[in-house]
A and B are shown apart, each in its own frame.
Chain A
Amino acid sequence: MNDLTLPRHWRAALLAPALTVFLAFWLLPMSRLAAISVSAGGAGYRALITNPRYLESLLSTVILSALVTAVALALALVAGLALVRHAFPGRRTLIAMLTLPLAFPGVVVGFMVIMLAGRQGLIGAISRELTGHNTVFAYSMAGLFLGYLYFSIPRVILTLMAAAEKLDPALEEAARSLGASPWRIQRDVVLPALRPALLAAGAMCFATAMGAFGTAFTLATEIDVLPMAIYSEFTLNANLVVAASLSLVLGAVTWLVLALAGLGGGGNVAAAA
């Protein structure tokens, strides 16, 4: 397409700010990161392969993020459709309340998980009363899962609600007139129509979970997710080479998973995230 509106030097001038930002905040740090990661003769990447701790934390991060994404999508789909379809008293208040945790940083979410399932937590107190055993799972994968889920659900619900509101009610009525049961309508009409939104929300959720730090920092005393590993290498061990390698691997793996998910869904999910 030919842009005929402005002379060439104007166009160049207008592109300059965007180009500067891209250079300063994307290309420069990324290339610096890449450069550090391969310094010391690629020792960073070698450590990644040879040290099972790193591989384990990468694997557990991916599994945790995938699990969080799947559960968040399932819960948000049901809740989002219900919120869009049914008018009930307090609906607006409920939606407003849903958006409130959007502002919470990961640390607050972690704090809330500790209050629920920590050593002095609510669940522990109840289980102590009932069984005499103090149930504590805030600092395990289960606690992290709960925190990530809590963090993701509002975002996913809002994305899905926006898509569900745009669904043409006549589509469902047409399916009903052809004899489709409510389950078939969900399967044949609603889900295919929400598919792009599900992919976008899922991608966003997965990428956020992969990189989540605040919650992990608060909770991950017994476990190692990749962002935590990067943090400890960087600050505690001052091992910049390994930290940079891990960072790039984290980015690449996230991007790869999203790209693979996108192959099934048509359209670039990584771009949608």
Chain B
Amino acid sequence: MKLDSVPIRLERCAKTFPGAARPVLKPLDLDIAAGETVVLLGPSGCGKTTTLRLIAGLERPDAGGRVFFGAEDVSARPIEERQVGMVFQNYALFPHMNVRQNVAYGLSIRRLPPQQIARRVDELLALTRLDALAERQIAQLSGGQRQRVALARALAPQPRVLLLDEPLTALDAQLRESLRTEMNTLLRNLGVTTVYVTHDQAEAMALGDKIVVMSAGAIEQIGTPRDIYHQPANAVVASFIGTMNQLEGVWRDGALHCAGGRLIAAPGAQPRSRLWFRPEDVILTPSGGELHGVVESATFLGGHTRLSLSGVGAAPILVDAPGRTRYATGERIGFSLAAEVWHTPLPDTETTTC
């Protein structure tokens, strides 16, 4: 099964709810290519769900904002006329209908012949592995099964755009991960333009062709998961995605001097007095090393051990140590940093991270 998909374009879309002093969404431009999966990521209240509802047609943008599906301006069209599929956080399945009736609902609205509806529903139930549950009542289903029914129902009328509002948030961690993989495969096979809202960065990384990081009603950065992780545009993005260390010191003679030692700059690096790096950018060097720190705590996490090192900079440095080595608190260990850390676009000045 393959769906026809359209690109989405938001132009100067802002949203102020009646009676609110400040807009929940500042004027925003966004381009989503046909067939692409874009994840809107951010903390609660950042405007990601409002953006999704603007695309859906459940909210209208403030005057001046426009929404395009392909070349068509859908700004004035309500959701009924936009041909979108939507999956809600609590699934919003019709409780008095069984699985089959739920999936068939959008098709019966379109007055398709019963045989065609049955065929299409069967196809979707197979696709979402719900064949055996077709006649079940919604109340008899588990959370994961409900989520799949919601997805099948949204896909049945062949939407131009699929919109998912935190579809996995209500599930437990293990189920979330397996459904995430399953959904990823499904979305790629269908090739439908998908907008996915989540506050879970792992979900965003796993599903998104592009991630749109939002905070306080504005877009902070748009990029591939790799861009967002390795080239965060600002401190807000850096701190929201994964763990980010900051090491400040004094730039002198092509090196950064700090309490933990002297770190020689990578060739071609600009003079810097502050470095931003991920725990995995740290290279532990048992014999010596450019920098030294004292193990403040060591937490064994299975695949790696998360170390917190003090005495390097102002804040403790978090390090992921691989392998079976045991670390004792108080132990002094040497390390250096991957050369790439000299090329992050983040500023030298101190930034309060949220």
**A residues whose Cβ falls under 8 Å from a Cβ of B:** 168, 170-171, 173-181, 184, 188-189, 192-193, 195
For A180, the chain B residues whose CB sits under 8 A away are 80, 105, 109
Q: Which of B80, B93, B94, B96 contacts A176 (CB 8 A)?
A: B80
Contact B105 A175 (CB under 8 A): yes
Q: Which of B58, B78, B96, B157 contacts A178 (CB 8 A)?
A: B157
Cα-based distance from A193 to B92 in the complex (angstroms): 12
Among the stretches B24-32, B83-91, B236-244, the one at the interface with A is B83-91
Contact A176 B109 (CB under 8 A): no
Residues from 183 to 226 in B contacting A, C-beta threshold 8 Å: none
B148 sits at the interface (CB 8 A): no
Q: Which of A168, A181, A195 contacts B80 (CB 8 A)?
A: A181
For B92, the chain A residues whose CB sits under 8 A away are 168, 170-171, 173-174
Residues from 58 to 80 in B contacting A, C-beta threshold 8 Å: 58, 78-80
B284 sits at the interface (CB 8 A): no
- Chain A nearest CB, measured from B343 CB (Å): 44
Residues from 92 to 120 in B contacting A, C-beta threshold 8 Å: 92-96, 105-106, 109-110
Cα-based distance from A58 to B65 in the complex (angstroms): 65
For A184, the chain B residues whose CB sits under 8 A away are 109
- Which residue of A176, A178, A180 has the most chain B CB atoms within 10 A of its CB atom? A178
For B85, the chain A residues whose CB sits under 8 A away are 177
Apart from A168-B90, A177-B56: 11 A-B pairs, beta carbons within 8 A: A170-B89, A170-B90, A171-B94, A173-B88, A173-B92, A174-B153, A176-B58, A177-B163, A178-B153, A179-B81, A180-B80
For A192, the chain B residues whose CB sits under 8 A away are 94, 96
Cα-based distance from A178 to B94 in the complex (angstroms): 12
For B56, the chain A residues whose CB sits under 8 A away are 177
Contact A179 B106 (CB under 8 A): yes
Cα-based distance from A177 to B155 in the complex (angstroms): 11
- Chain B nearest CB, measured from A22 CB (Å): 34
Beta-carbon nearest neighbor of B82 in chain A: A177
Contact with A along B3-40 (1 / 0, CB 8 A): 00000000000000000000000000000000000000
Q: Which of B80, B88, B95, B96 contacts A170 (CB 8 A)?
A: B88
For A173, the chain B residues whose CB sits under 8 A away are 58, 79, 86, 88, 92
For A193, the chain B residues whose CB sits under 8 A away are 95-96
Beta-carbon nearest neighbor of A173 in chain B: B58
**B residues whose Cβ falls under 8 Å from a Cβ of A:** 56, 58, 78-81, 83-86, 88-90, 92-96, 105-106, 109-110, 153-154, 157, 163
Contact A188 B84 (CB under 8 A): no
- Which residue of A168, A174, A177, A181 has the most chain B CB atoms within 10 A of its CB atom? A177
For B154, the chain A residues whose CB sits under 8 A away are 177-178
7 A-B pairs in the complex with CB atoms less than 8 angstroms apart? A170-B90, A173-B86, A174-B94, A177-B84, A179-B106, A179-B157, A180-B105
For B110, the chain A residues whose CB sits under 8 A away are 179
Cα-based distance from A188 to B88 in the complex (angstroms): 19
For A176, the chain B residues whose CB sits under 8 A away are 58, 78-80
Contact A188 B78 (CB under 8 A): no
- Chain B nearest CB, measured from A267 CB (Å): 13
- Which residue of A175, A176, A179, A181 has the most chain B CB atoms within 10 A of its CB atom? A179
Contact A178 B106 (CB under 8 A): yes
Beta-carbon nearest neighbor of B96 in chain A: A192
Cα-based distance from A47 to B88 in the complex (angstroms): 64
Beta-carbon nearest neighbor of A171 in chain B: B92
Cα-based distance from A173 to B80 in the complex (angstroms): 9
Beta-carbon nearest neighbor of B159 in chain A: A177
Cα-based distance from A180 to B111 in the complex (angstroms): 11
- Chain A nearest CB, measured from B99 CB (Å): 15
Cα-based distance from A265 to B154 in the complex (angstroms): 30
For A168, the chain B residues whose CB sits under 8 A away are 90, 92
Contact A179 B58 (CB under 8 A): no
Cα-based distance from A180 to B79 in the complex (angstroms): 10
Beta-carbon nearest neighbor of B19 in chain A: A87
- Chain A nearest CB, measured from B247 CB (Å): 46
Contact B105 A188 (CB under 8 A): yes
- A170-B88, A176-B80 as given contacts; A189 in contact with B94, CB under 8 Å: yes
Beta-carbon nearest neighbor of B84 in chain A: A177
- Chain B nearest CB, measured from A50 CB (Å): 48
- Which residue of A168, A170, A174, A189 has the most chain B CB atoms within 10 A of its CB atom? A174
For B109, the chain A residues whose CB sits under 8 A away are 178-180, 184
Q: Which of A170, A178, A181, A195 contacts B105 (CB 8 A)?
A: A178
Q: Which of A174, A181, A188, A189 contacts B86 (CB 8 A)?
A: A174
Instruction: List 9 A-B pairs, minimum CB-CB distance, nearest first.
Output: A178-B106, A170-B92, A177-B86, A174-B92, A192-B96, A170-B88, A179-B109, A176-B79, A171-B92
Beta-carbon nearest neighbor of A169 in chain B: B92
For B153, the chain A residues whose CB sits under 8 A away are 174, 178
Cα-based distance from A74 to B95 in the complex (angstroms): 23
Beta-carbon nearest neighbor of A185 in chain B: B80
Cα-based distance from A184 to B93 in the complex (angstroms): 16
For B83, the chain A residues whose CB sits under 8 A away are 179
For A171, the chain B residues whose CB sits under 8 A away are 92, 94
Contact A174 B88 (CB under 8 A): yes
For B78, the chain A residues whose CB sits under 8 A away are 176
Beta-carbon nearest neighbor of A172 in chain B: B92
Contact B94 A188 (CB under 8 A): yes
- Chain B nearest CB, measured from A166 CB (Å): 12
Cα-based distance from A179 to B106 in the complex (angstroms): 7
For A188, the chain B residues whose CB sits under 8 A away are 94, 105
For A170, the chain B residues whose CB sits under 8 A away are 88-90, 92
- Chain B nearest CB, measured from A14 CB (Å): 34
Cα-based distance from A195 to B163 in the complex (angstroms): 30
